[in-house]
Amino acid sequence: MNKPTKIILGSQSPRRYEILADAGFEIEVIKPKVEERFPFDLAYSKVPEYLSKLKMHDIYSFVGDDSDYIICADTVVLFEKNS
């Protein structure tokens, strides 16, 4: 598999950009135009995947091409306060 020379990054994360740039990729940053909402009953462990897919589909709908590499990511942080 050939390494792509250009990646569309669906994230404004400076760290994600840095990782890809350091790996030698040309990066085009595009902010997805989606509301980051998810179903209330969705397991927390599935939220990042759900939101990432929403972002990817949004970007692909207006710039995608089957030869484009689009990377979208999301993070969930859980905090539990112990008494």
Structure tokens at 47: 């939220």
| Residues with a known catalytic role | 74
- What are the beta bridge partners of residue 8? 28, 70
Q: Is the pTM of the predicted complex or chain greater than 0.85?
A: no
pLDDT one-digit tens code per residue, 9-48: 998 899 999 999 999 889 999 999 999 899 999 998 999 9
Query: Residue 60, exposed/middle/buried by CB under 10 A (0-12, 13-18, 19+)?
Result: middle
Cα separation, 20 vs 52, in Å, equals: 17
Sorted by where each begins, the domain ranges of the chain are 6-71
